[in-house]
A and B are shown apart, each in its own frame.
Chain A
Amino acid sequence: MGDRSEEARKAKLIVVDPRFNRTAAVADIYAPIRPGSNIAFFGGVINYLLSNDKIHHDYVKHYTNAAFLIDPGFGFDDGLFSGYDEVKRSYGSKDTWKYQMGADGFAKIDDTLQDPNCVFQLMKKHYSRYTPEMVNKVCGTPKDAFLKVCEIVATTAAANKTLSYLYALGLTEHSNGSQNIRCAAMIQLLLGNMGMAGGGINALRGHSNVQGITDMCLYAQTLPGYLGAPTDGDKDFATYVAKRTPKALRPGQMNFPQNFPKWFVSLTKAWYGNAATKETNFAYDYFPKLGGASDALSIFNDMFHGKVNGFFCQGFNPLASLPNKKKVGDALAKLKYMIVIDPLATDTSEFWKPHGEFNEVDPSKIATEVFRLPATFFAETSGTLTNSGRVVQWGWKAANAPGDSKDDAEIVAEIFLTLRAMYAKEGGAFPDAIRDLTWAYNQPFSPSPEEVLREINGKALVDLTVPKDPTKILFKAGDQLPSFGFLRDDGSTSCGNWIYCGTWSQAGNNTARRDNSDPSGLGQTLNWGFSWPVNRRILYNRASADLQGKPWDSSRTVLKWTGKAWGGNDVPDMRPNAAPEEYVMPFIMTPEGVGRLFSREIMADGPLPEHYEPFESPIDNNPLHPKVKSNPVARVYKADMEAFGTAKDFPYVATTYRLVEHFHFWTKYSQANAIVQPEQFVEIGEALAKEKGIKAGDRVKVRSNRGFIKAVAVVTKRIKSLEVDGKQVHTIGIPIHWGFKGTAKPGFITNTLTPYVGDANTQTPEYKAFLVNVEKI
């Protein structure tokens, strides 16, 4: 959507946002929306596309699950899908959300899309309630602005037109954030925009390596490369592997996740070497089993209740970045010990220290022992970062870090090797995995990024021969592998993260490549860095061509069938010799081979996105179904439920966000940024300011049911009040960047105000829509 596409293809820029922001100022269309009403808006767009027949028919019919038949018992009534368990606040049974299966073992489909139980018809029915009038009532978006957005979006249903969808935390930080993203994906599938150059769903994520750290899976539910982590429910290795190795749901599909055993076994070889053998079930017992909820909110809730003793806090400032600062601070005070690893003196590291009204605590009553270890910053160490477009780029070290700082790998190595020595000497609980972990780095206390990336990439452990001709050697023992296609499940290959296989092949460090040539003119710089998987730049790019393999738009060919193989301007996301007549569909990571308009039993809160109000909502009822107001399956702890406020006491909607001049809670430490945005402020619309007697520059107090902050008022035309369900709703905008540490003027932690509830699937906190009151100080 950059200047290039605006000039070259006359692209239109649409901004939907509660604030008329800087992007809105240069947009073709701006539509205001009430925070927390996104699904009503999206549902309206889906309804518009379906009822006006503005969809890419061939694409929808063949490349999505529109034709798939769903269990006849599936239903949606009064805000709830079939199978709801009110006591457990969850869908106890999702059996009716499944495909109808045929006698041949495959899912049943109806090519005519007419069967009342096919996804297409279910979707049509579900979204028929989302009329432009309903969108206006729920979102406050003027009907004409909404319809203008729909009209432009609908033009991209043409085979040679695309829509690129960009989003950030504005969509994810809601109690139904995952379903927000699903809505966007469904619209892109209906329009035939997935897999196209200039199409797709493009997340603008929040940290320089948030993609890479997600890929390495530094969160509980998965192991590197998104391999589902073992849980208490997997009684043994065979059960674990079987559960995660799906069978194809349609004939002839690639069903790529069927390779799970190769990826997992190669990981066990990278970590546990000779201790990972067939006889030991590849060290399956060395992997800890997940016992229940494990995410930042559940972790801090456990900590709050005294169930956590030690906390390892690496480059993270939870006191500032998690909801309900008071609860988070109280939780940290229950720890025995905390290890902070950071380049900066963070607010979290001083949660125990009084900082006036910004942090009112009594250190004599806090028994937590806090260690603070200085870490390097970005150009003080070499290594790779992966951006939102999955491009892995190598960065080089430019200078030493100040003082005695060490990089993360060195600090981890010191802790680990010291522990290992202690276990070797004294014994202790389950020392086996600690003893057997591979640590073959030249300098064990300082693993180099080059060595680690080679380990992540993976190698042959024995001579690998061609399966059909054992006399031919493919790779010699010790060779770095070029692709995960060569990984095996018999222990003959090792690989720390299968999707990164190819980053460091026998050709060397492919992430350091710097050839920026773009022969296709599509921005496909295939020799710049390395894009996982296998240097593919556009995922599902088989969908950029029709059933016969002819590009939908020949002026931007991503992939085409050449008669013998797939070729074009990207690495094919398809078996290279899969002829079109074999009918191998593009979405190779699903067992059905197609994109999911209906998500089967995968989501916690329903197979089709439905609008639910934020947990703190300015209106009395959900206009779509009065009986079910907010997400019926979002996890809320009892005390946090009681800490929700109501519109009676807190009549204004608040939404938190970032400024272009600041980065989260970092740049308050940087003088340049502290100069351009020195002091904490909140944005208040002119109408509300007038009502409350607030002038620009006045100091105001903003309160939620969990606490208050004080800030300077910026009175603005950029946030207008909207009429929602017959009521004028004002929104207050609250930038997040301040705290009690740093160079910028000390301020309150914004998350003092925010509610402790997350998305029903990911537990991403609901920072974008909650209730506050405001008064002049």
Chain B
Amino acid sequence: MQVNRRQFFKICSAGLGGSSIAVMGFSPTAALAEVRTYKLARATETRSTCPYCSVACGLLVYSTGDRSKNSQSEIIHVEGDPDNPVNRGTLCPKGAGVRDMMQSKDRLKWPEVREPGTNEWKRISWHDAIERITKHMKADRDKNFVTQNKDGVTVNRWPTFAALAASAATNEGGYITVKMLRTLGVTQLDTQARI
């Protein structure tokens, strides 16, 4: 039997002594003593590390929902992970505010294109975006790919395409990216490591 705080007081005011509540077959749960239940008690806790600098402070990310399929979760709180030996629960002012970063009004939500000479973004589908991008890439690559240099050495490179990669991407995202870029022949490649 579950009772909320209001019901608990109602039961008590009906003249029953505290001790007889247990006799009646239920005991008040810990929640009864609380003013209200904590949001975090029913949140899902996920372990992560901070997305900012490279110290890698551990984070506990709390979200609504229980990760069941089709449930939408929203992050409601982030705090330092006391188990993580890097930060032992502490966070700097940047890490402590990271929820606002995830929920920034400037998050991109769908693919867009800005066409030559125009002054606006146009929303497009993923399908159209990928098709238009790969058409540009293939035409450029086929036209400018260099198979041999002037000394006859096989060089197989695509000199007219450049890439800057994200130092905040995961290792797995970065690895897949470099695997593709090198395979396409890209040598004009760099990352924030240098900056």
Contacts and interface: CB of A to CB of B under 8 A. Distances in A.
B48 A396 contact: yes
A671 B101 CA distance: 7
A405 interface: yes
A401 B183 CA distance: 29
Interface stretch (B10-18, B22-30, B157-165): B157-165
Given A208-B50, A288-B156, A671-B100, 11 more contacts: A214-B191, A288-B182, A308-B188, A344-B106, A385-B171, A399-B63, A402-B107, A433-B183, A447-B176, A453-B172, A764-B195
Contacts of B131: 418
B41 interface: no
B38 to A, nearest CB: 18
Given A344-B107, A400-B73, A402-B107, A419 B165 contact: no
A381 B111 CA distance: 19
A206 B53 CA distance: 5
Interface string A218-243: 11100110000100101100000000
B36 interface: no
A466 interface: no
Contact of B176 (A207, A220, A312, A409): A409
Interface string A327-360: 0000000001101011111000000111000000
A396 B94 contact: no
A294 B104 contact: no
Task: Point out which of A217, A423, A765 has the most chain B C-beta atoms below 10 A from its C-beta.
Answer: A217
A315 B170 CA distance: 11
24 contacts: A210-B54, A214-B167, A223-B182, A296-B194, A308-B160, A311-B163, A314-B164, A336-B136, A371-B133, A398-B44, A398-B46, A404-B110, A407-B173, A413-B176, A419-B138, A428-B138, A428-B141, A433-B156, A453-B171, A528-B85, A661-B94, A671-B104, A742-B106, A764-B195
A353 to B, nearest CB: 7
Contacts of B145: 429-430
- Name the residue in A310, A428, A434 with the highest tally of chain B Cβ atoms < 10 Å from its Cβ: A310
B9 interface: no
A383 interface: yes
Given A313-B164, A666-B52, A372 B126 contact: no
Interface string B133-176: 11011101110110101010111111111111111111111111
Contact of A204 (B55, B63, B144): B55
A669 B106 contact: yes
Interface stretch (A316-324, A563-571, A707-715): A316-324
Contact of B85 (A311, A345, A523): A523
A213 B174 contact: yes
A310 B157 contact: no
Nearest to B150: A232
Nearest to B144: A309
B114 interface: yes
Contacts of A204: 53-55
B179 A271 contact: yes
A291 B157 contact: yes
Interface residues of A, number: 154
| 7 nearest A-B residue pairs (beta carbon) | A315-B166, A403-B109, A672-B97, A383-B170, A387-B56, A408-B173, A374-B108
A423 B138 CA distance: 8
Contacts of A387: 49, 54-56, 86
B171 A212 contact: yes
B142 A429 contact: yes
A343 to B, nearest CB: 6
Interface in B94-138: 94, 96-102, 104-119, 121, 126, 129-134, 136-138
Candidate in A386, A387, A497 with the most chain B CB atoms within 10 angstroms: A387
Nearest to A289: B155
A422 interface: yes
Contacts of A365: 117
B32 interface: no
Contacts of A352: 114, 119
A200 to B, nearest CB: 15
Contact of B190 (A219, A345, A380, A456): A219
Contacts of B130: 414-415, 418
B51 A378 contact: yes
Contact of A321 (B54, B93, B185, B195): B195
A667 interface: yes
A343 B107 contact: yes
A662 interface: yes
B159 to A, nearest CB: 7
A452 interface: yes
Contact of A449 (B49, B149, B172): B172
A307 B47 contact: no
B105 to A, nearest CB: 7
A318 B86 CA distance: 30
